[in-house]
Amino acid sequence: MEAIAFALGLLLLVLVFWDVFETVIVPRPTPGWFRIGRYVVRWSWAALRALHDGRPERSYDRVFGLFAPAMAVTFLATWLLALILGYGLILFALREELQPVPPDLGTALYFSASSVLTIGYGDIVAVGVPARIAVVTAAVAGLGTVALVVTFLFALYGSYQRREIQVVALEAAAGGPPSAVSLLETYAQLDLVDRLPELFRDWERWAVEVLDSHVAYPLLNFFRSSHDNLSWISALGTVLDAASLVLTTVCDVPRGEAKLAKRVGAHLVEDIYNVGFRSGSPSSLDRADFDAACDRLEEAGYVLEARDTAWPKFKAARATYAERLEAMATYLAMPATSWLGDPVALRAPLHPQDDP
């Protein structure tokens, strides 16, 4: 009995230490069936989505917004509980080296909890060398786990804030929800077309940073924007669609920066999609919508390629990221990309003289 309890406790501790190491310390995705935190997030999100799908008439935006912060706290609670259980099993196996001897597993778990949480009432004392080693390592593991999770939270929120600055700034030009056509219209109406390359450079750098952080710490993908009708996925799709329009349809706009932004952005979409953030079936691209977009761009003052020539090029360019991006938005229950914009809620034309 003691040998089985010791082995189970040791196995549980190994799983916890490995999960903390892979989740917090290793800066890259680490698949594996023995990841405790992975199953906590996956099952919790599946349960929340099932609740939402069962009552689609209700808004769950507030609950979805709380999910990622709640999971960060749940990581800490899960790891601490697993440490308490693991050390409790080990101390129960070594109970003859404790004074007084714990009469049952519950008492051993109590002593384990006081050790992991460094409370130390002193009502139970380790007198044997193996038990003393277990108690000391329990205290070190508890303190170390809390310290690592606090560091993890600072890293998460730092990356989240840097991501959202660019996303929120895009709303001023692309509307909410953002769209590529609205973005290009605004730049034309404000006589800022020559600054489009700068926009694409900024989003190229943004995509590099998000690629690095969101693949390393997948929980960041669940963090939602604090603004309605806005998400980092829809913002990324807007910029990628604008870059695709510049590369295939719009004339007289430098295309080098747009091409680099599209390459890096499509790489970001592909890598996060491959991590497992995908669900649903993509919608098809309509030629009538493309013609409507071209009408709006020509009205804004852009010179366009022949539509019959531009259409297959734009469709091919968008195919490199659009389906994956839409599947990611469906899985994360975030606003999807609307490259044309909502025709019912189009923003009023914006002119430079309208700005006070």
Last residue of a domain, one of 150, 184, 214: 150
Count the Cβ atoms, other than its own, within 10 Å of residue 104: 10
Torsion of CA 257, 258, 264, 268, to 10 degrees: 150
| Orientation of helix 36-54 relative to helix 2-20, angle to 10° | 70
Of 252, 248, 241, the closest CA to residue 308 belongs to: 248
pLDDT for 295 equals 93
How many domains are there within the chain?
Answer: 2
130 and 226 housed in the same domain: no
pLDDT for 213 equals 92
Burial of 92 (0-12, 13-18, 19+ CB in 10 A): buried
- The tokens of 353 are what? 């003289």
Domain that holds residue 69: 2-150
223 and 311 housed in the same domain: yes
Please list the rounded mean pLDDT of every run of 10 residues in the chain (356 residues): 88 92 79 76 88 69 87 93 95 92 92 90 88 94 94 91 92 87 93 94 95 90 84 92 95 93 94 84 79 92 93 93 90 74 42 39
Give CA 260 to chain center in angstroms: 23
Q: Identity (one letter) of the amino acid at 114?
A: S
Q: Reduced to 3 states, what is the DSSP secondary structure of residue 40?
A: helix
Which helix H or strand E contains 302, and what residues bound it? none
76 and 192 housed in the same domain: no
140 and 276 housed in the same domain: no
316 and 189 housed in the same domain: yes
203 and 258 housed in the same domain: yes
| Orientation of helix 232-248 relative to helix 322-332, angle to 10° | 170
pLDDT for 353 equals 39
The Cα–Cα gap between 31 and 21 comes to 13
- The tokens of 3 are what? 């040998």
Q: Reduced to 3 states, what is the DSSP secondary structure of residue 21?
A: helix
Residue 46 belongs to domain with CATH number: 1.10.287.70
Q: Identity (one letter) of the amino acid at 132?
A: R
Burial of 75 (0-12, 13-18, 19+ CB in 10 A): buried
102 and 186 housed in the same domain: no
343 and 200 housed in the same domain: yes
pLDDT for 69 equals 92
185 and 301 housed in the same domain: yes
Which helix H or strand E contains 98, and what residues bound it? strand 98-99
- The tokens of 230 are what? 């806005």
186 and 82 housed in the same domain: no
Which helix H or strand E contains 171, and what residues bound it? helix 129-174
pLDDT for 56 equals 65
pLDDT for 34 equals 72
Residue corresponding to tokens 């999910």: 67
